[in-house]
């Protein structure tokens, strides 16, 4: 018989392993916290270096420095650039709301004053004219009968056959019908005017420059448009009134007079010049551009001259100054920073910024004149953030 094993000697060893006490756990957590802090610092440094070296760039708003000269003066005279415009020009619209049923002109069509350019659907207006005409006819018949009755009443009253009141009633009926006839004729005139308003006529003799609506579209007077409703049917102009509008630098405007001769050169025909004459010097200046608008009539009529063409005008003058007009550069005031070293702007070049020191002049509205440091055409950072430095990569927001 086998003797059973003695299990009383078995024990569980509950003593902590070497190096795993409370002191060891605390030092492990400290080392982990230090390692995490080092990693965070390295990540922050990497992000800063990445952003400063062009990783995506800082989003900024930019604007362009505008150079204005408004023309120059030379031995030939003062020159300025502008555009050909028509002094008599109109966007022709309908007087009433309706659907366009017919249009009889195209671009380039020549029309006379009063010619029908287009027609709206007019069935309801034509019916109103017929109804008003019928009403006039009905009242005219009643009036004719009332006048005959009044004449008989007058004769009977003379013979003492009827009372005075009956004669007065007959005469009153005639006056009432006469008033009704006047009202009906006024209603007929109104219906005919409304019918005429379905015809869109040329306000003056000229040439159609553009069709703004097509058959089937809803058109309306210019003040009642909205959504898909057209307000203009055609745009037309009198091409015999073509002239050139130019902006002349205010430094030279005293040398430009009404009636002064000028030579006009179109950008489309640089080898050909046309005679012109100053028609009007507009009596106000543009303080944003420091220029004055001058209108020059074209005395050499030529079919090649078209509206909205670019043109250069030289005002001939014996007293013309033989020097270049002062070049003005205007920038948004928000782009200019004032610091201890003076005023400066941040110029965007090839996706990076560069600080440029400038000499600022007077402020004109929301723009500031730059006397030196910029030549015009530069892209400038608006409201530059404090983190910018030379070479910082940026990207244009929007």
By C-alpha distance, which of 284, 283, 263 is closest to 274? 263
- Assess contact for 246 and 294: CB atoms under 8 A: yes
Q: How confident is the model at residue 322 (pLDDT cuts 50, 70, 90)?
A: very low
Task: Give the pLDDT of residue 74.
Answer: 52
Do 98 and 117 belong together in one domain?
yes
- In a shared domain, residues 354 and 331: yes
User: 218 with 275, same domain?
Assistant: no
* Within-domain flag for 30: no
Residue-level pLDDT at 20: 46
Parallel, antiparallel or unpaired: strands 77-86 and 242-249:
antiparallel
Look over the chain and give the mean of its residue pLDDT values, rounded to a whole number.
84
Q: What is the 3-state secondary structure (H, E, C) of the chain?
A: CCCCCCHHHCCCCCCCCCCCCHHHHHHHHHHHHHHHHHHHHHHHHHHHHHHHCCCCCEEEEEEECEEECCCEEECCEEEEEEEEEECCEEEECCCCCEEEEEECCCCCCEECCCCEEEEECCHHHHHHHHHHHHHHHHHHHHHHHHHHHHHHHHHHHHCCCCCHHHHHHHHHHHHHHHHHHHHHHHHHHHHHHHHHCCEEECCCCEEEEEECCCCCCEECCHHHCCCCCECCCEEEECHHHEEEEEEEECCCHHHCCCCCEEEEEECCEEEEEEEEEEEEEEEEEECCCCEEEEEEEECCCCCCCCCCCEEEEEECCCCCCCCCCCCEEEEEHHHCEEECCEEEEEEEECCEEEEEECEEEEEECCEEEEEECCCCCCEEEECCCCCCCCCCEEEECC
d(CA 309, CA 325) in angstroms, rounded, equals: 24
Residues 296 and 385 placed together within one structural domain of the fold: no
Distances 125 to 131, 161, 197, 214, 387 between C-alpha atoms, Å: 10, 50, 9, 21, 70
Residues in the chain: 398
Predicted confidence at residue 50, as pLDDT, reads 55
Residue 375 lies inside a defined structural domain of this protein: yes
Q: Report the CATH number that the domain containing residue 243 is assigned in CATH.
A: 2.40.30.170
Residue located via tokens 């006009």: 264
Question: Same domain, yes or no, for 229 and 127?
Answer: no
Statement to judge: residues 295 and 352 lie in one domain: no
- Judged against a pLDDT cut of 60, whether residue 167 lies above it is answered with yes
Question: Are 213 and 98 in contact, with CB atoms under 8 Å apart?
Answer: no
Q: Are 370 and 353 in contact (CB under 8 A)?
A: no
305 assigned to some structural domain: yes
Would you say residue 139 has pLDDT above 90? yes
Cα–chain center distance at 150: 68
The pLDDT value recorded for residue 176 is 96
Q: What is the pLDDT of residues 254-269, one digit of tens each?
A: 889 999 999 999 999 8
Q: Is residue 39 part of a domain?
A: no
Pick the most confident of 35-39, 45-49, 83-87: 83-87
Answer yes or no: are the C-beta atoms of 261 and 277 closer than 8 Å. yes
Residues 296 and 386 in one domain: no
Q: Quick one: 102 and 220 in the same domain? A: yes
| Dist CA 226 CA 271 (whole Å) | 46
Query: Same domain, yes or no, for 389 and 268?
Result: no
Name beta bridge partners: 349.
352
What is the tally of structural domains in the chain? 4
Q: Which domain holds residue 377?
A: 58-68+327-396
Mean pLDDT of 286-290: 88
Q: What is the pLDDT of residue 271?
A: 85
Residues 248 and 372 in one domain: no
Question: Does residue 222 form part of some domain?
Answer: yes
| Domain membership flag for residue 212 | yes
Q: What is the mean pLDDT of residues 187-195?
A: 96
Would the pLDDT of 106 be above 80? yes
Report yes or no on 50 lying in a domain: no
Residues 143 and 162 in one domain: yes
Q: Is the pLDDT of residue 61 over 80?
A: yes
CA dist., res. 135 & res. 142, Å (int): 11
From the list 120, 287, 99, 305, the residue with the least C-alpha distance to 196 is 120
Please say if the pLDDT value at position 224 is more than 70: no
- Looking up tokens 């380039």 gives 108
Q: Between these two residues, 372 and 97, which has the higher pLDDT value? A: 97
Of 164, 196, 228, which residue is a domain's last?
196
Q: Compute CA 289 distance to the chain's CA centroid, rounded to the nearest angstrom.
A: 19
Does residue 41 lie in a domain region? no
Q: What confidence category does residue 279 fall into, taking pLDDT thresholds of 50, 70 and 90?
A: very high
Q: Examine the pLDDT at 300 and tell me if it is beyond 70.
A: yes
Q: Residues of the chain with pLDDT > 90: what percent?
A: 49
Residues 258 and 282 in one domain: yes
Domain boundary among 315, 345, 372: 315
Q: What is the pLDDT of residue 152?
A: 93
Structure-block tokens of residue 111: 């029309």
**pLDDT class for 244, splitting at 50, 70, 90?**
very high
Label residue 185 by pLDDT band (50, 70, 90). Answer: very high
Q: Which residue has the higher pLDDT, 181 or 373?
A: 181
Last residue of a domain, one of 315, 336, 366: 315
pLDDT at 297 over 80: yes
311 contacts 82 by C-beta, under 8 angstroms: yes
187: CATH? 1.10.287
User: Averaged over 30-55, what is the pLDDT?
Assistant: 68
Per residue in 198-213, pLDDT tens?
999 999 999 999 999 9
What pTM value is reported for the model?
0.56
pLDDT band at 321 (very low <50, low <70, confident <90, very high): very low
Residue 231 belongs to domain with CATH number = 2.40.50.100
């Amino acid at each position: 018989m086998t003797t059973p094993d003695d299990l009383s000697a078995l024990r569980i060893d509950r003593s902590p392993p070497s190096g795993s006490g409370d002191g060891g756990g605390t030092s492990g957590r400290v080392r982990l916290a230090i390692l995490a802090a080092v990693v965070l610092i390295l990540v922050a440094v990497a992000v800063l270096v990445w952003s400063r070296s062009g990783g995506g760039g800082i989003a900024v708003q930019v604007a362009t420095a505008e150079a204005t000269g408004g023309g120059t003066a030379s031995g030939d005279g003062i020159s300025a650039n502008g555009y050909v415009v028509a002094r008599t020009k109109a966007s022709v619209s309908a007087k009433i709301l309706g659907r366009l049923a017919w249009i009889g002109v195209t671009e380039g069509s020549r029309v006379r004053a009063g010619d029908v350019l287009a027609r709206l659907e007019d069935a309801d207006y034509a019916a109103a004219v017929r109804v008003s005409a019928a009403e006039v006819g009905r009242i005219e018949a009643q009036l004719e009968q009332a006048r005959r009755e009044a004449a008989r009443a007058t004769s009977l009253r003379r013979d003492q056959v009827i009372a005075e009141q009956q004669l007065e009633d007959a005469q009153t009926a005639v006056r009432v019908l006469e008033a009704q006839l006047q009202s009906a004729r006024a209603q007929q005139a109104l219906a005919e005017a409304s019918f005429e308003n379905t015809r869109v006529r040329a306000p003056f003799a000229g040439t159609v420059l553009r069709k703004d609506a097509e058959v089937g579209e809803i058109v309306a007077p210019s003040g009642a448009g909205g959504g898909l409703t057209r307000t203009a049917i055609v745009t037309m102009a009198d091409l015999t009134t073509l002239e050139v509008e130019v902006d002349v630098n205010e430094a030279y405007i005293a040398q430009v007079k009404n009636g002064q001769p000028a030579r006009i050169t179109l950008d489309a025909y640089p080898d050909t010049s046309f005679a012109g004459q100053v028609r009007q010097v507009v009596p106000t200046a543009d303080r944003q551009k420091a220029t004055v608008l001058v209108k020059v009539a074209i005395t050499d009529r030529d079919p090649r001259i078209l509206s909205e063409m670019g043109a250069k005008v030289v005002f001939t003058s014996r007293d013309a100054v033989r020097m270049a007009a002062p070049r003005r550069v205007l920038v948004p005031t928000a782009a200019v920073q004032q610091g201890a070293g003076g005023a400066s702007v941040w110029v965007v070049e090839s996706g990076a910024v560069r600080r440029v020191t400038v000499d600022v002049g007077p402020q004109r509205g929301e723009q500031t004149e730059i006397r030196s440091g910029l030549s015009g055409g530069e892209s400038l950072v608006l409201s530059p953030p404090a983190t910018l430095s030379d070479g910082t990569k940026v990207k244009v927001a929007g």
